[in-house]
A and B are shown apart, each in its own frame.
Chain A
């Protein structure tokens, strides 16, 4: 089966055979690939963890229409995520891996011809490049042909969140090409334009792109033939690395204040943790678990003790950023935090609406946790409880769910401004919906307004 997202590079195409991830290469790309392996570059990139592990195989014939001069097999990455689902630090680390790989490549006479953020995935909390076919020859002179793509995919969204304070996730949703630099230029009018790197990478580039549009074809061809000595390209990429590494998010986040505001939540934390641990240990499958509404990731980390792979999702990018930063500096290697709103998960998009898969296609957990989430969905957003229970069963085989009754102080706070009646929303209603779609395995009251349930789909 040929990967639907792998058509932009005719020289190298991804296909699957059973569980194996394979890539067929054209004679030219196969040549470059051999040279990159001989030079030690591929080993270095894999050793650093910047590139996914990959090796040449000879026992596979690529499907019809796929280049077949060489076949490379890659380690299967358990989770494909997209830039719109990453927090600021995740996008920044993905950018740094891209730049570091380029610098390592240039030292050995190669470069990466692409700098798409979609070439990067997270294994646990570590960014890794999966597009092995992007290695190209460089030699003594050349140009960083992926410079523009790097800026649109990485630099523009990072600058926007850092310099303007606008989170990039919503803007990257549904785009396969990042943020056009002209758009960023207009969004950064005024004082935000005084920041580091804006004058060249945003203002000058916008100007030169407009100029280039007015150039004659012959003149444009001349520009296309321009080259720089390798030292100059290395200097440009090093400067870009310094620029990117210094960027910090200035978008507001509510999660930190939120945790502080809930002292009474802390009392029940121990009881909730125990319940989640117990439910997880009796789960039928221990493959993939998702913590819905992960916040700072307390329960996500508990799931990571039991499941092979755990994803913590939250619509607050600040919370996910904190979880990512604490996880990537820890020993935990099976936890990936993602900025995903469960009431509006990433849809499929791109070429023919299929190039990039929907979140619910990519992530099919065996187990999920919904702690302190239902009252937000039902009382805060006004979603019907029956539908929310339906979503839980649709999303995963098993779930640990906290039901917060409407008498709870937090529930009261959430629904304070509501004038319409949101019934049915009682523990009895919840239990009847839960039994309609599956079974209640265990049930524990942790406070008089909060009850934990372990549900299993029938």
Chain B
């Protein structure tokens, strides 16, 4: 059960989460592009390192945010 009083006390957290999510959408698009390029490389070289996928997810959440314009 969510206390409505808390929502009143702290409106900033929700708004910040929206911004992170908005930036995340741009990040996901950028990451998808990145993944495509990697896939192409993999097809070319037959090389599939497991660790790379993990870094990619991390990127998506924290760093890989590209401008949308």
Residues of A within 8 A of B (CB): 143-145, 147-148, 151, 182, 200-201, 204-205, 208-215, 220, 223-224, 226, 228-229, 231-236, 238-239
Contact = CB atoms under 8 A, between A and B. Distances in A.
B32 interface: no
B2 A214 contact: yes
A228 B66 CA distance: 10
Contacts of A145: 12, 16
Interface stretch (B3-11, B37-45, B48-56): B3-11
A145 B15 CA distance: 8
Contacts of A223: 13, 16-17, 20
B17 A208 contact: yes
Contacts of B14: 148, 205, 208-213
Contacts of A211: 14, 17
Nearest to A205: B18
15 contacts: A147-B16, A148-B11, A148-B18, A182-B7, A209-B7, A211-B14, A212-B13, A212-B14, A213-B2, A223-B17, A224-B16, A232-B23, A232-B66, A236-B22, A238-B68
B65 interface: yes
Contacts of B22: 200, 236, 239
Nearest to B5: A213
Interface in B16-31: 16-23, 26
Contacts, number: 95
Interface residues of B, number: 25
B22 to A, nearest CB: 5
B28 to A, nearest CB: 13
A279 B54 CA distance: 79
B60 to A, nearest CB: 13
A337 B19 CA distance: 35
Contact of A234 (B7, B11, B15, B67): B67
Contacts of B46: none
Contacts of A148: 11-12, 14-15, 18
B18 A210 contact: no
B69 interface: yes
Contact of B23 (A209, A224, A228): A228
Contacts of B68: 235, 238-239
Contact of B18 (A200, A233, A238): A200
A220 B10 CA distance: 9
Contacts of A212: 7, 10, 13-14, 17
B16 A226 contact: yes
A154 B16 CA distance: 17
A236 to B, nearest CB: 5
A238 B12 CA distance: 21
A252 to B, nearest CB: 32
Contact of B66 (A147, A224, A231, A238): A231
Given A148-B11, A220-B13, A223-B17, A213 B3 contact: yes
A226 B7 CA distance: 19
Nearest to A231: B67
A50 B22 CA distance: 27
B19 A147 contact: yes
Contacts of B19: 143-144, 147, 228, 233, 236
Contacts of B10: 212-213, 220
A201 B3 CA distance: 22
